[in-house]
Structure 1
Amino acid sequence: MGKLKCITMDCLLIFTLLVTKIHHVHGDTNVTVTFLDTAISKGAVCLDGSAPAYSYVEGFGTGSHSWIVYLVGGGWCNHISDCRARSSSRLGSSHLMASQTTFSGILDFDCTSNPDFCNWHKVFIYYCDGSSFMSDIEHSHAKNLTFRGARIFNVMMDEMLAKGMRNAQNAILTGTSAGGLATILHCDKFRKLFSDEIRVKCISDSGFFIHGKGHHGYKSREQFFGDVIKTHVLIFQTFISWPSPCLQRAHQRGSRLTSLVLGGVTNCTNNLKSCSSTELGIMRDFRRTFIRTLERRIHSSPKRGLFVHSCYLHDHVLKSDEWTCLTVANRTMRQAVADWYFDRTSFREIDTKSDSPKNCTNSFCL
């Protein structure tokens, strides 16, 4: 048995965890993966038919009745051939997933760097369906492929409710990129798992994507996401009452995301120094439309929040430095999310100091 001590006033107690479940490496926490074999009989399986997977560590002390559920991202597959290729990777098969994952950022157990959420129950749900946990095709239209992301989400919620989430007093659904989009799409369903008096909120990290019609590259975006919808036979509701803050960068970053904004493959997908003046201009124009769209969506409800920066980065809540030290309006991401979640104060801030993407260090705490 290993003893860990929380040193903040919020958790002044010693707790015990099985060392076979977690161990610390350079301040991070590695957690063993659980493969949910019972989900197979329910048809809740990855693209290749393997069992879905999650990692979980029990909460303690004042966090014994509080839960964070995190949905992993990883893009989407938009054609059968693309999904077939994905089924031979960790994003489509649990057979190829690592045996452990690292809990950090909002999932960190360090009560100094993560005082508001360090002792909560923490769930990390792996992504292996290529559809932001939305597909549910009874009979596959492609040989040896299954499209059952929605069922994976449902069985995972059932699993957590059975572990004690049904007794939660606080709950957060969050996710990054494709998992951030899944957070938005599943927020209402997650909220309905709990009674009205329970504080339940959703945090979408880098998961807000816009059409940007009329802007450069919009045909590519339209075609890509249209193909995702067709391949996975998805039907999206027009209105989703998500009470979530958007942890978002104002410029799309990542090879596929940047190419969708710029309308094709480009050398500046991962390095601003490789971008031409024309490409930077396209990104500035897209940023303005992106922010206007986001503000309209968010400002229609007082429950919603914003944390929008201009760093050329993608995903944040699991990155310790960004979670702890990335700042907008003199408040770190951790502080902004905690204040918003606990209703201490609202937070709707956008970095307006620059209309161009910025190269930011990955060591924000230096």
Structure 2
Amino acid sequence: ALLTGCSAGGLATLIHCDDFRAHLPKDATVKCLADAGFFLDEPDILGNRTMSNFYHDVVQLQGVAKSLHKKCITEMEPSKCIFPQQIIKNIRTPLFIVNPTYDFWQIQHVLVPTGSDPDGYWRRCRLSIQKCDSTQIENLQGFRSSLLKALSKLQHDKEGGMFINSCFVHCQTWMAETWHSSNSPRINNKTIAESVGDWYFNRKVTKEIDCPYPCNPTCYHMDFTQPS
């Protein structure tokens, strides 16, 4: 059995992964895959904790604390425990993370929310990584480094897997174009589907981490500056 979801569904997959495992027979193969749900607890370009404040409100409004790991909420503010970098410290079920290092949703809502760019300096870069200048790219590379650091535990988990590419995209497992096709993003000549398959069926350890933008010509980059 495979529990999976993308974006908010990817976060929910992380939160409920072990509970899902507990509801199935002990001899069943159970794993979890979170796509584009690895939201970072990072300050925005002005140093504001926009995402942290948002999650604090979510936890308070929805009473999420009861679904979070008990060990975590005894050690820190419950809203911190909803961030994936804390969740993965306590997950026991084999886990695979699919995430772009330049997740456009996170760039637009975590790193550069509109309220933190009143002069519009980031307006075009927020919509297309190909429109970013060198200073903006440097900021994005810092965001990439934060993601890789947050994933460090999973990198050393023998049962864990990951496909972390350098594309300006969000969810990638639900579209054939990004999941598995002749034009799909690849790392070491492997698509996301091939990497997930190797991990799920225990064919090989799968820890695919891409080089920084703009090194990967197979990337599927969203461009919101183009007419739809």
TM-score, normalising length from structure 2?
0.74
What does residue 129 of structure 2 align with? Answer: 272
Query: Unpaired runs of 5+ in structure 2?
Result: 73-89, 223-228
Which secondary structure does the structure 1 equivalent of 2:49 belong to? helix
Q: Which amino acid aligns with 1:347?
A: T
What does residue 241 of structure 1 align with? Answer: 92
Q: Which amino acid aligns with 2:103?
A: Q
Quote how far apart the aligned CAs of 1:242 are: 4.2
Quote how far apart the aligned CAs of 1:356 are: 5.6
What does residue 189 of structure 2 align with? Answer: 330
Which secondary structure does the structure 2 equivalent of 1:194 belong to? coil
What does residue 82 of structure 2 align with? Answer: none
- The verdict on how the C-alpha distance between 1:329 and 1:273 changes in structure 2, with shifts beyond 3 A counting, is closer
Q: Which amino acid aligns with 1:212?
A: E
Determine if contact 2:44/2:110 at 8 Å carries over to the other structure. no
Which secondary structure does the structure 1 equivalent of 2:164 belong to? strand
The equivalent position to 2:169 in structure 1, one of 313, 316, 324, is: 313
2:137 maps to 1:285: no
Instruction: Number of aligned residue pairs: give it.
Output: 190
- The verdict on how the C-alpha distance between 1:221 and 1:279 changes in structure 2, with shifts beyond 3 A counting, is farther
- The verdict on how the C-alpha distance between 1:275 and 1:283 changes in structure 2, with shifts beyond 3 A counting, is same
Which secondary structure does the structure 1 equivalent of 2:126 belong to? coil
- The verdict on how the C-alpha distance between 1:284 and 1:357 changes in structure 2, with shifts beyond 3 A counting, is farther
Cα distance between partner residues in 2 of 1:221 and 1:295? 21
Cα distance between partner residues in 1 of 2:92 and 2:45? 27
- The verdict on how the C-alpha distance between 1:218 and 1:280 changes in structure 2, with shifts beyond 3 A counting, is farther
Cα distance between partner residues in 2 of 1:189 and 1:253? 30
Quote how far apart the aligned CAs of 1:172 are: 0.6
Cα distance between partner residues in 2 of 1:223 and 1:257? 16
2:102 maps to 1:251: yes
Determine if contact 1:252/1:261 at 8 Å carries over to the other structure. no
Cα distance between partner residues in 2 of 1:190 and 1:276? 44
Cα distance between partner residues in 1 of 2:39 and 2:220? 24
What does residue 219 of structure 1 align with? Answer: 49
Which secondary structure does the structure 2 equivalent of 1:204 belong to? strand
Cα distance between partner residues in 2 of 1:218 and 1:251? 19
The one-character-per-residue Cα deviations of 1:28-66 (angstroms, maximum 9, x if unpaired) are xxxxxxxxxxxxxxxxxxxxxxxxxxxxxxxxxxxxxxx
The one-character-per-residue Cα deviations of 1:1-53 (angstroms, maximum 9, x if unpaired) are xxxxxxxxxxxxxxxxxxxxxxxxxxxxxxxxxxxxxxxxxxxxxxxxxxxxx
Higher relative contact order (CA 8 A, sep 6+): 2
Query: Unpaired runs of 5+ in structure 1?
Result: 1-170
What does residue 25 of structure 2 align with? Answer: 195
The equivalent position to 1:204 in structure 2, one of 10, 20, 34, is: 34
- The verdict on how the C-alpha distance between 1:269 and 1:215 changes in structure 2, with shifts beyond 3 A counting, is closer
- The verdict on how the C-alpha distance between 1:357 and 1:227 changes in structure 2, with shifts beyond 3 A counting, is farther
What does residue 175 of structure 1 align with? Answer: 5
More strand by share: 1
Quote how far apart the aligned CAs of 1:276 are: 3.9
Which secondary structure does the structure 2 equivalent of 1:187 belong to? helix
Q: Sequence identity, in percent?
A: 28
Which structure is larger by alpha-carbon Rg, 1 or 2?
1
The one-character-per-residue Cα deviations of 1:217-269 (angstroms, maximum 9, x if unpaired) are 45112222222222212213223334211111012313x65231135354132
Cα distance between partner residues in 1 of 2:44 and 2:221? 33
The one-character-per-residue Cα deviations of 1:321-365 (angstroms, maximum 9, x if unpaired) are 11113211221111111111011111001002x2569794479xx
- The verdict on how the C-alpha distance between 1:215 and 1:243 changes in structure 2, with shifts beyond 3 A counting, is farther
Determine if contact 2:10/2:35 at 8 Å carries over to the other structure. yes
Cα distance between partner residues in 1 of 2:209 and 2:191? 13
The one-character-per-residue Cα deviations of 1:88-133 (angstroms, maximum 9, x if unpaired) are xxxxxxxxxxxxxxxxxxxxxxxxxxxxxxxxxxxxxxxxxxxxxx
Which secondary structure does the structure 2 equivalent of 1:229 belong to? helix
More helix by share: 2
The equivalent position to 1:260 in structure 2, one of 110, 116, 122, is: 110
Determine if contact 2:45/2:112 at 8 Å carries over to the other structure. no
TM-score, normalising length from structure 1?
0.48
- The verdict on how the C-alpha distance between 1:216 and 1:271 changes in structure 2, with shifts beyond 3 A counting, is same
Q: Which amino acid aligns with 1:285?
A: G
Cα distance between partner residues in 2 of 1:229 and 1:362? 32
